[in-house]
């Protein structure tokens, strides 16, 4: 130390050199500290001890530090060191100062240190000096502030300005480490620096863009390609009005001419209160935008599915109301009472039911009654007319398909099994299923799982199946037209629906019900009523179309009624009459969907059946010729014959008629 410093020794101070014996070996405990620690004797001008971090900080080792005078380490900062040590020796406490330290490796370059000094309580001749690398301390502080800024923590404008001023003035380690792109611009809009992350995202190297107007290089156009005027750019607004600008949805342009979506913050920089430029921190949000687009697409698909389900629900409601408007079984016959008893027995179970009987006897009504009395009543009853499904569309109709599975599959569609999940599936006319499709149906009935057409994902469902047919399936099994294993799977609980001719006592209540509904539909001012003669007429008829034909006859009678009197154009004989099928105008009457109207095994009946089929074929063929081969729609054969398109399709198939051959 300089001469005269000894004059400042306090009266209680030990002689020079005495402090060395009092240095505790406990100084080695500070070896793990991230700052340098020196124990110096200011009177002897020497370093008594040093931790390992101090040795690294001063590019030396502990032995060399002890050999060098302390004043050699702090040449340019010696006055500050004298002031600092004198303050410690004059009284207890700690003091701080900025010191420059000379190190062997740096030569003339000084290491800036923040020094914190304190006197030793047990030996007032010694001073404990803690050294912090000022640049490293600032970098760590700036990193912490930058991280806090990214996290959105409260940050004063003064702190923000200081942070970015430090970045601009040379904290390259921070610029190199962060993942966000950072570049600076001066008041002229010229780029002043560019960090590596910005280089990677923009494709420009720093030396290629520094000095150029940043807006003209990377921000010149909107995403659509329209010119982006520089005076509208928020980045330049930041160092004109001094406000931080945050933008969430713009694009920057790469060197290769491609754009990418960004969000950025433009923060003004002040120097002595003057706005001198701005620092821009930006992020590439391409992945976030892709995720947002995927989410919007998914939401749109959900909305489409919701709309589709609403349409399908409306369709199902229409299906339920289309052909059977009554919601309870009407009749007083023993056959009707027996059916009601069977429904009560099987409805609470999960057993499959096979309903047999002629067409028009109310098989669907029985199926609905079973469903409504079952635990599945709150789930849908889905009806499938097996006779109306083309073989090539069987899997799509039953199991659904995914978008693009085949030509015309423009969207994903749920099949009937999927719609009926948790509810009941009613397979009407199950005997009409092609043999090759029966095995696929059997697999689903057994395993309750399937795959949509075009999809390899297996779907599991919980469906109760009720089937109906007007065919004799046992005969079809013998003729190899129906699988025996499918029959026994379906016929767990068979119910037979008796034809209307075998229960004439049900005709009066049914006729009364249909009359009330027909009157409400046609809005007659004079309400007709059923007379005893009307009932006798109805009971004397054979009813080949059963309940469905009765409903149609009642409605037709209401339409043509005069003065409240009903007249039924029916034969009085109970024998099957060909005239009811062979009208003078060549049109087919209300026979059931694709079914023979009489099955009595007499020679005369068989002859009549052949005649009926021949005339039916001739009528359908002539209608197809007139419609140019068109079956359904306006001007189609179904309209000319006054038949339902599904009924006509079934009869065309049964009679082996080719509409295409009649197109011209």
Read off the pLDDT of residues 573-595 as tens digits, 9 standing for 90 and up: 444 433 333 333 333 343 333 33
Least confident range from 312-321, 401-410, 485-494, 593-602: namely 593-602
341 and 475 inside one domain: yes
Between 400 and 328, residue with greater pLDDT: 400
pLDDT band at residue 499 using 50, 70 and 90 as cut-offs: very high
Is the pLDDT confidence value at 418 over 60?
A: yes
Query: Three-class SS string for 177-197?
Result: HCCCEEEEEECCCEEEEECHH
From edge to edge, which strands make up the β-sheet containing 424-428?
A: 381-385, 424-428, 464-469, 353-356, 493-496
In a domain, 266, yes or no: yes
Please give the backbone phi and psi of residue 130, each rounded to the nearest 5 degrees, phi first.
Answer: -105, 125
165 and 240 inside one domain: yes
pLDDT over 90 percentage in the chain? 14
Task: Quote the number of domains for the chain.
Answer: 5
Name 152's Cβ contacts closer than 8 Å, sequence gap at least 6: none
Q: Which of 481, 464, 236, 488 is nearest to 348 (CA)?
A: 464
* Per-residue pLDDT, 223: 85
Q: What are 600-640's pLDDT values in tens digits?
A: 333 333 434 566 677 778 888 888 888 888 888 888 888 88
**Other CB atoms within 10 Å distance of the CB of residue 64:** 14
CB 96 within 8 A of CB 116: yes
545 and 606 inside one domain: no
Distance separating alpha carbons of residues 639 and 645, to the nearest angstrom = 8
Distance separating alpha carbons of residues 301 and 209, to the nearest angstrom = 45
Name 81's Cβ contacts closer than 8 Å, sequence gap at least 6: 70, 71, 74, 97, 99, 115
Distance separating alpha carbons of residues 261 and 201, to the nearest angstrom = 11
- State mean pLDDT over 426-449: 90
In a domain, 144, yes or no: no
Tell which of 496, 524, 558 closes a domain.
Answer: 496
Distance separating alpha carbons of residues 196 and 582, to the nearest angstrom = 92
Distance separating alpha carbons of residues 101 and 60, to the nearest angstrom = 12
- State mean pLDDT over 290-319: 74
**Other CB atoms within 10 Å distance of the CB of residue 647:** 21
CB 180 within 8 A of CB 170: no
Tell which of 575, 610, 638 closes a domain.
Answer: 575
- State mean pLDDT over 557-567: 82
463 and 510 inside one domain: no
CB 483 within 8 A of CB 442: yes
259 and 327 inside one domain: no
Q: What are 309-351's pLDDT values in tens digits?
A: 765 665 555 555 444 433 467 888 888 889 989 999 999 999 9
In a domain, 301, yes or no: no
pLDDT over 70 percentage in the chain? 76
Is the pLDDT confidence value at 245 over 90?
A: no
Distance separating alpha carbons of residues 183 and 192, to the nearest angstrom = 7
542 and 586 inside one domain: no
Q: What is the DSSP letter of 221?
A: B
396 and 449 inside one domain: yes
Please give the backbone phi and psi of residue 74, each rounded to the nearest 5 degrees, phi first.
Answer: -125, 55
Task: Say whether 453 sits in a helix, a strand or coil.
Answer: strand
Is the pLDDT confidence value at 169 over 60?
A: no
Is the pLDDT confidence value at 646 over 80?
A: no
Helix H or strand E segment including 336? helix 334-346
In a domain, 289, yes or no: no
486 and 515 inside one domain: no
Query: Three-class SS string for 527-572?
Result: CCCCCHHHHHHHHCCCCCCHHHHHHHHHHHHHHHCECCECCCCCCC
* Per-residue pLDDT, 313: 67
Number of helical (H) and strand (E) elements in the chain, helices listed first = 26, 19
Q: What are 55-84's pLDDT values in tens digits?
A: 888 778 878 888 888 888 777 777 778 877
The pair of structure tokens assigned to 215 is: 């807006």
CB 84 within 8 A of CB 95: yes
CB 236 within 8 A of CB 219: no
Is the pLDDT confidence value at 90 over 90?
A: no
Q: Which CATH number does the domain housing residue 237 bear?
A: 3.30.450.20
Q: For residue 308, what are the CA distances in angstroms to 303, 384, 610?
A: 8, 18, 46
* Per-residue pLDDT, 42: 84
* Per-residue pLDDT, 468: 95
**Other CB atoms within 10 Å distance of the CB of residue 614:** 12
360 and 433 inside one domain: yes
Q: Which CATH number does the domain housing residue 418 bear?
A: 3.40.50.300
In a domain, 333, yes or no: yes
Parent domain of 115 = 5-136
418 and 505 inside one domain: no
480 and 504 inside one domain: no
In a domain, 110, yes or no: yes
Tell which of 541, 556, 575 closes a domain.
Answer: 575
Is the pLDDT confidence value at 202 over 50?
A: yes
328 and 435 inside one domain: yes
Distance separating alpha carbons of residues 173 and 164, to the nearest angstrom = 14
Distance separating alpha carbons of residues 140 and 372, to the nearest angstrom = 74
In a domain, 295, yes or no: no
Q: Beta strands of 410-463 (E only): which ranges?
A: 413-414, 424-428, 449-451, 458-460
How many residues in the chain?
664
In a domain, 305, yes or no: no
């Amino acid at each position: 130390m300089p001469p005269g410093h000894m004059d400042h020794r306090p009266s209680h101070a030990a002689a020079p050199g005495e402090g060395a014996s009092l240095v505790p070996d406990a100084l080695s405990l500070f070896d793990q500290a991230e700052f340098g620690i020196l124990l110096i004797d200011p009177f002897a001008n020497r370093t008594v001890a040093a931790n390992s971090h101090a040795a690294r900080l001063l590019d030396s080792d502990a032995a060399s530090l002890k050999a060098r005078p302390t004043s050699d380490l702090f040449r340019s900062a010696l006055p500050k060191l004298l002031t600092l040590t004198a303050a410690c020796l004059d009284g207890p406490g700690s003091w701080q100062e900025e010191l420059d330290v000379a190190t062997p490796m740096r030569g003339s370059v000084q290491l800036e240190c923040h020094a914190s000094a304190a006197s030793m309580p047990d030996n007032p001749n010694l001073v404990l000096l803690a050294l912090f690398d000022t640049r490293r301390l600032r970098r760590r502080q700036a990193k912490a502030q930058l991280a806090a800024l990214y996290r959105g923590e409260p940050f004063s404008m003064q702190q923000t300005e200081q942070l970015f001023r430090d970045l601009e003035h040379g904290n390259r380690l921070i610029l190199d480490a962060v993942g966000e792109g950072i570049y600076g611009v001066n008041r002229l809009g010229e780029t002043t620096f560019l960090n590596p992350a910005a280089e990677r995202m923009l494709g420009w190297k720093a030396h290629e863009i520094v000095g150029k107007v940043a807006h003209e290089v990377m921000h010149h156009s909107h995403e659509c390609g329209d010119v982006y005027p520089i005076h509208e750019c928020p980045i330049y607004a930041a160092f004109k009005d001094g406000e931080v600008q945050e933008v969430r949805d713009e694009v920057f342009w790469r060197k290769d001419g491609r754009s990418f979506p960004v969000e950025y913050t433009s923060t003004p920089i002040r120097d002595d209160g003057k706005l001198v430029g701005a620092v821009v921190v930006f992020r590439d949000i391409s992945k976030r935008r892709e995720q947002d687009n995927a989410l919007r697409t998914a939401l749109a698909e959900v909305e489409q599915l919701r709309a589709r389900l609403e349409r399908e629900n409306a369709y199902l409601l229409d299906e339920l109301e289309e052909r059977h408007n009554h919601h309870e079984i009407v009749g007083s016959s023993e056959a009707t009472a027996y059916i009601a008893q069977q429904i009560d027995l099987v409805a609470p179970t999960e057993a499959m039911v096979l309903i047999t009987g002629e067409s028009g006897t109310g098989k669907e009504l029985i199926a609905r009654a079973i469903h409504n009395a079952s635990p599945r009543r709150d789930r849908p009853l889905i009806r499938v007319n097996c006779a109306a499904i083309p073989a090539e569309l069987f899997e799509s109709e039953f199991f659904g398909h995914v978008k693009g599975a085949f030509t015309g599959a423009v969207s994903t569609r749920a099949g009937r099994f999927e719609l009926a999940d948790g509810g009941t599936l009613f397979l009407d006319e199950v005997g009409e299923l092609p043999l090759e499709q029966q095995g696929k149906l059997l697999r689903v009935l057994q395993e309750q799982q399937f795959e949509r057409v075009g999809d390899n994902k297996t779907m599991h469902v919980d469906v109760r199946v009720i089937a109906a047919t007007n065919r004799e399936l046992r005969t079809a099994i013998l003729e190899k037209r129906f699988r025996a294993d499918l029959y026994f799977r379906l016929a767990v609980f068979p119910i037979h629906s008796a034809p209307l001719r075998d229960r004439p006592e049900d005709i009066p209540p049914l006729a009364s019900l249909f009359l009330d509904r027909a009157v409400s539909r046609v809005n007659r001012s004079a309400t007709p009523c059923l007379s005893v003669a009307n009932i006798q007429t109805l009971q004397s008829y054979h009813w080949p179309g059963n309940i469905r034909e009765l409903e149609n006859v009642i409605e037709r009678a209401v339409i043509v009624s005069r003065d409240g009197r009903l007249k039924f154009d029916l034969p009085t004989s109970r024998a099957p009459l060909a005239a009811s099928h062979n009208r003078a105008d060549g049109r087919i009457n209300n026979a059931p969907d694709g079914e023979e109207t009489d099955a009595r095994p007499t020679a005369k009946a068989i002859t009549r059946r052949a005649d009926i089929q021949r005339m039916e074929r001739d009528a359908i063929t002539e209608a197809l010729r007139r419609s140019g081969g068109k079956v359904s729609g306006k001007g189609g054969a179904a309209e000319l014959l006054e038949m339902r398109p599904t009924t006509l399709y079934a009869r065309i198939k049964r009679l082996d008629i080719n509409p295409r051959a009649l197109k011209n």
